[in-house]
Amino acid sequence: MLKESFNTGWLFFHGSGTALERTLGGEQTPTPVTLPHDAMILEKRDPNTPAGNASGYYPAGTVYYTKEFTVDDPSGAAYLEFEGVYPKAAVYVNGCLAAQHHNGYTAFTVDLSPFLKKGTNTVKVLVRNGAMSSRWYTGEGIYRDVWLLKGENVHIAPSGVQITVSEADAQAATLLIKTTLVNREPRAHSLVLRHRIGGEEISAPVTLLSGETKTVTLRFTLAQPKLWSTDEPFLYDCETILEGLDEARTRFGVRTLSLDAARGLRINGEPVKLRGGCIHQDHGVIGAVEHNALTKRRIKKLRNAGYNAVRCAHFPTSRTVLEACDEAGMLVMLELCDAWTTPKMDADYSADFLSHWKADASAMVALAFNHPSVILYSIGNEISEVSTPHEAQYGRQICDLIRSLDPTRYLTNCVNPVLSLMDRIPELAVKAGADVNSILNGNAEALAELMASKELGEPLAEAFSYLDIAGYNYAAFRYAADAKQYPHRMMVGAECYPGALYENWQLCKKLPQLIGDFGWAAWDYLGEAGVGQHRYGEALDYDLYGAYPWRTAGCGDFDLIGDRRPVSYWRQIVWGLRKEPYLAVQDPAHYGEKQSPTRWGWSDALHSWNFRGNEGKPIVVEVYSDADEVELLLNGRSVGKQKPVRNKVLFETVYTPGELTAVNLRGGKPAEIDRLTTASDRVHPEQTDLGDGIVEISVKDENGVRNPEAVLTLTAATSGERTILGFGTADPKSEENYFDKTIKTYHGRALIVTRGEGELKIEVL
């Protein structure tokens, strides 16, 4: 079918747009918008909003969109494809309800044909987001692309081509190409269906009866295929032609998956350990707006930092993300939901689970089917009821459905044993012969021993038995015990504290059943405000979140605008992918104070040797390294030598501007180095235009050295059709709005994202 963008020409309103609402409140002045659009990111944050830190203190509400469009001939087939509307969308065409879709993360298609008329038509999309529906920032509105599909009454169904690689090696690949065809006419049609891939073609006659929807499967042999892998992510295009009536193009990759307890996970026969990270859907300064270039930038940055897998938590992601992962060679775990029947928020997915899980699981599979990057489906995140025999059966039903739709990928469930068994800890402790009082009083050693016990593993045995891979959230204490007790069980660290990677990765290398580790989080995100904050002084482990004006989680290998934080370099060294050391310097203003980061936090050290006003004061330098020893030099003089522990050493010295150098010593001889130089105060904003409306801004001195402590006030102006989508920094608790045209830099950085043609001018105030 002819597919064209339906993103322009929309009008945006607050409220529901009913006649009663207009009577009581009066007519609104509409705001013209171009999709994708996030209404929530444009709201003023409110410390008293019901969602609180979960949403980053952004309020939610009910909004709607309208658009007029012209139809010359309404006799053919027409659909609207929405890639994502958050949440609970209702689509009206010419005043009639055409479709409802509750899930804010899955795509849906609206059949326009019954409602269209010749001439002007109107579509309205109502979005209800008034309740607390998620534990993170969701965005609000039509935040992904919308497409208009037009064609004949006999056509290929939207997203109607599915390609399965049944077997493949260097000599040949066998493909099963399944095509769904639709005949809306009152007579039968005998047609020819063709598929073309890489210069080869297959065809077959097909008869469609009146009013019939039929799925046709053809077997295609691809000679000497180029296999898709993380290192060489080659993609094919399949051109599907329905004789003179319709055509479709499908991008896919050829690769095989295998899994066993002796050799672990293999792709195309080669063993792979998942170097994974968890990501949410927002893009920081532009909110939840889906943005093709920002998505590719994110996945590319993560890939270059050593990641080979992402977990899209805790919901199905977008087509844009999967396309970026296909192209970059990034493996993907897709996740269905954050709740089954037990709520975590007042109006979360648990309210819809029983009535909608089948449709949502089917939509997740349909999204993933042709994407070689997707290797894992997660059926849930930290589902508390998996340890109860009755409700654990929901997991079996979900797995059975997904396997019937896609038997080629693996299934997991991201289980937190502590949360799943929280109510039964005293009972299980007695059964295990543990000291209950010691555990209830917070004895970490006693609790860890209990967590690794056979008694705590048994209640989860059934929930893990129907999965291909058992997913463990914050449960590394069970890896070795379960590998021994359940020798055929495959495992993955589905969500792990960032600081636990060193120990976890040693187990990944040791245990073939343990296929990888996913850290929380790979990229900072809006909402769950302050969960990764770095604190000083005494702090309670369970006092996790930040009060207003905290906005971001404050965790992630990359900050909100895409700068690598020091933990990312440590992670890369632990993985064995970086030989150079890495310098990070703690803030001397807090020298000697107790550091109390949350479990999702890391040191607040910076890759900088600029601490004006602290000359002569003591300072702590962190060096990450895999060398035998590390030597630290300050202005050419040795500060000392140390052996890394867990790929990290700490040096104490006195802050003196100049040059700080870390030298790896291997076999007693100098090897790789990392160096920091003090930047001068003569700074300017340097712009890097990445194209597609993305401009990075760095505060640098005359020698090109970045100065993180220099704060510049910047103003942005656009001309022509160019508009600002977002302008801001990675500051986790700034009160600036991302739609303001004036901001202050943070750690010497800022990011602006624009849309449309025209000039962009950024100046220092």
Q: Is the pLDDT of residue 26 over 90?
A: no
Vertex 467 angle, CA 463 and 468, to 5°: 150
Amino acid 210: pLDDT: 97
Residues 662, 710, single domain; the answer is no
Same domain, 161 and 205: yes
Helical ranges in 511-610 per DSSP H: 566-574
* Average pLDDT of the segment spanning 118-136: 94
Whether the per-residue pLDDT at 444 is higher than 70: the answer is no
Mean pLDDT of 706-735: 96
CB 228, CB 254: distance < 8 Å: yes
Q: Write out the DSSP string of 25-94.
A: H-PPPPEEE-SS--SGGGSPP-TT-TTGGGGTS----EEEEEEEEEES-TTSEEEEEES--BSSEEEEET
Residue 83 lies in a domain: yes
Domain boundary at 634, 651, 677, which? Answer: 677
Report pLDDT for 90: 98
Calculate mean pLDDT across residues 728-750: 97
Specify burial of residue 709 (Cβ count, 10 A radius: 0-12, 13-18, 19+). Answer: middle
Is residue 562 in some structural domain?
no
AA letter at 436: V
The per-residue b/e assignment along 341-364, b for 16 or more CB within 10 angstroms, e otherwise, is eeebbebbbbbbbeebbeebbbbb
Pair 247, 104 in one domain: no
Give the Cα separation of 540 and 341 in Å (integer). Answer: 30
Question: What pLDDT sits at residue 47?
Answer: 96
- Inside any domain, residue 136: yes
Looking at the 3D structure of the chain, how many domains does it have? 5
Neighbours of 556 (CB within 10 A): 28
HEC sequence for 26-44:
CCCCCEEECCCCCCHHHCC
Q: 617 falls in which pLDDT band (50, 70, 90)? A: very high
Give the mean model confidence (pLDDT) for residues 702-712: 96
Q: What pTM value is reported for the model?
A: 0.96
Report the C-alpha dihedral over residues 196, 202, 203, 209, rounded to 10 degrees: -80
- The whole-number pLDDT of residue 539 equals 79
Crossing angle of the two packed helices 292-304 and 319-328, in degrees rounded to 10? 40
pLDDT at 541 (0 to 100): 67
Look at residue 545 and tell me if it is in a domain.
no
- At residue 445, the pLDDT reads 76
3-state secondary structure of 247: strand
Judge if 500 and 400 occupy the same domain: yes
The CATH number given to whatever domain includes residue 232 is 2.60.40.10
My answer on whether 209 and 106 are in the same domain is no
Q: How confident is the model at residue 423 (pLDDT cuts 50, 70, 90)?
A: confident
Is 232 within a domain?
A: yes
Alpha helices in 222-291 (DSSP H): none
Decide which of 619, 642, 677 is a domain's last residue: 677
552 occurs within a structural domain: no
Distance CA(447)–CA(524), nearest Å, equals: 30
Whether residue 330 contacts residue 302, with contact meaning beta carbons closer than 8 Å, is answered with: yes
Shared-domain flag, residues 384 and 492: yes
For residues 443 and 355, membership in a common domain is answered with yes
23 Cβ neighbours under 8 A, 6+ residues apart: none
pLDDT band at 442 (very low <50, low <70, confident <90, very high): low
Which of 661, 677, 693 is where one domain is finished?
A: 677
CATH number assigned to the domain comprising residue 85: 2.60.120.260
- pLDDT, one tens digit per residue, over 252-261 is 999 999 999 9
495 and 581 in a common domain: no
Helix (H, G, I), strand (E, B) or coil at 124: strand
Residues 237 and 356 reside in one and the same domain: no
Cα–Cα distance for residue pair 51/138, rounded to 1 Å? 11
Q: Which domain holds residue 719?
A: 683-764
Contact 336/357 with Cβ under 8 angstroms? yes
pLDDT in tens, 502-544: 999 999 999 999 999 999 999 999 999 999 999 998 877 667 8
pLDDT of 24 > 90? The answer is: no
Q: Which residues contact 556 (CB under 8 A, 6 or more apart)?
A: 521, 522, 523, 524, 525, 532, 565
For 216-239, what is each residue's pLDDT tens digit? 999 999 999 999 999 999 999 999
Let me know if residue 534 belongs to a domain.
no
Within this chain, do residues 101 and 189 fall inside the same structural domain, yes or no?
Answer: no
* Cβ(56)–Cβ(526) below 8 Å: yes
Assign residue 700 a region: left if phi > 0, alpha if psi is -120 to 50, beta otherwise?
beta
Confidence of residue 426 (pLDDT cuts 50, 70, 90): confident
What secondary structure does DSSP assign to 571-591, as a single string? HHHHTT---S-EEEE--GGGT
426 shares its domain with 517: yes
Q: What percent of the chain has pLDDT over 70?
A: 99
327 is a domain residue: yes
C-alpha pair distances (Å), 214 with each of 151, 206, 210, 716: 17, 10, 11, 54
pLDDT of residue 200: 93
**581 and 687 together in one domain:** no
132-147: pLDDT as tens digits: 899 999 999 999 999 9
